Chain A
């Protein structure tokens, strides 16, 4: 089973845990509905679609409302600190949470209490906290975009907003930034860098570069990075090796985007509907 931890943009949304379903354009959990726009709901939608094709169970989610004040995130951090050690997951992805180093560390302690260690994936705010805590190497996969990669490569930056100017977020410098992130121990065991070209890398270097199909509009569409993280999470949840899953996920996400015939004004739910077709096609190609 895969676990998904994140927030939804509704400050009245309570802390909810449970299996998730995608019905129409909404995630359903414990009788509550959340529209799929971007962020963790988009990740969940992509993971659900991927799991369905792979005949896997639905993702189990830990969700709470947070509009940026951090109250919901802290409640969720506290809940996870107390409860996660009793659970069993194959894979857990930590996503949109208010970055907080102290709480991050407590959650990581809870993970260490689990009977078996799941594959750990971090993206978005939780990845920022993981890097700032100096414990990136505890994770199996980070899924940064190119700007976030520059942040990982800058050993002094506590947030992408403070990435120093000499570390420009230039796509063609990704290999150099990846090497620098590993040099300073600020990368997970594997990196899936999302961008004009997607890179799968580990400490040994770049293992795969995926750049087709190319849809320039994808960069402007909020949530397309979240769907990629959702797809790779579901693939890893089947037991697939992380580097292989990352390369397949990048191809699937690009193809699903291509099938949606995107414009910069497209919303991410439109590409989510194409994930099953894209996944089946990529898996058939081998």
Chain B
């Protein structure tokens, strides 16, 4: 199969989103966003991880878009979990949509999946993670050192130990790999 032989998209893409009834949760670290996303989704909230508006971007950011009407309940949930956001602000300008396009490359014995700038490769028979490549944030080498050599079942997920957008992209590749 050619490198770009298979393109998959899990959801309908929209370029940006802007809704007056939506707000965004801003956190200090991307790792907190990742934890909050996981906990809020588990609690049943309809939230989305998005890119921040230009006025609050610093370089490696994610925010969580929430229905503003649920602001107090969501805030209480996060405070109970000890991951309160730095601030909650209304959505005043379009938010960036994260990449949701996956590409895979089948090497025969190995399978590689790419999400955004991150690539995860496993040995098909053993499900062992044999390589992680791409990305430019400092947790990429760290994630590789903790995940390569372990099976998909035993390796820590990037969601647990990653901290940046590259870590988040690797999580998407990891989830896609597990789905297959």
Contacts and interface: CB of A to CB of B under 8 A. Distances in A.
B138 A67 contact: yes
A68 B31 contact: yes
B132 interface: yes
Interface string A103-126: 010000000000000000001111
Contacts of A100: 58-60
B4 A171 contact: yes
A4 to B, nearest CB: 15
B164 A124 contact: no
A160 B134 CA distance: 11
A68 to B, nearest CB: 3
Contact of A264 (B99, B100, B110, B169): B110
Interface string B129-147: 0111111111111111100
B97 A98 contact: no
Given A129-B59, A163-B99, A217-B107, A69 B144 contact: no
Contacts of A266: 131
Interface in B104-137: 105, 107, 109-110, 112, 114, 116-117, 119, 121, 123, 130-137
A272 to B, nearest CB: 15
A120 to B, nearest CB: 16
A180 interface: no
Contacts of B117: 145, 147-148, 151, 160-161
B90 interface: no
A123 B136 CA distance: 8
A208 to B, nearest CB: 21
A148 B116 CA distance: 9
A233 to B, nearest CB: 16
Interface string B1-38: 00110000000010100000000000001110000000
B159 interface: no
Interface centre among A39, A132, A148, A162 (most CB of B within 10 A): A162
A41 B101 CA distance: 30
B166 interface: yes
Given A221-B131, A222-B132, A96 B59 contact: no
Chain B contact patch, size range: 35 or more
A73 B119 CA distance: 23
B126 to A, nearest CB: 10
B133 A161 contact: no
Interface residues of A, number: 65
A176 interface: no
Given A37-B145, A221-B133, A162 B138 contact: no
Given A132-B57, A161-B98, A162-B97, A220 B110 contact: yes
A76 to B, nearest CB: 10
A66 B112 contact: no
B96 interface: yes
Given A68-B137, A164-B15, A220 B112 contact: yes
Contact of B142 (A68, A129, A196): A68
Contacts of B96: 156-158, 162
A159 interface: yes
Interface of B: 3-4, 13, 15, 29-31, 51, 57-61, 96-101, 103, 105, 107, 109-110, 112, 114, 116-117, 119, 121, 123, 130-145, 148, 162-169
11 contacts: A37-B144, A38-B133, A99-B136, A132-B57, A159-B165, A161-B165, A164-B15, A169-B103, A196-B3, A263-B110, A264-B110
Q: Kindly list the 5 A-B residue pairs having the minimum CB-CB distance in the complex, ordered from nearest.
A: A68-B139, A124-B136, A68-B163, A99-B59, A9-B142
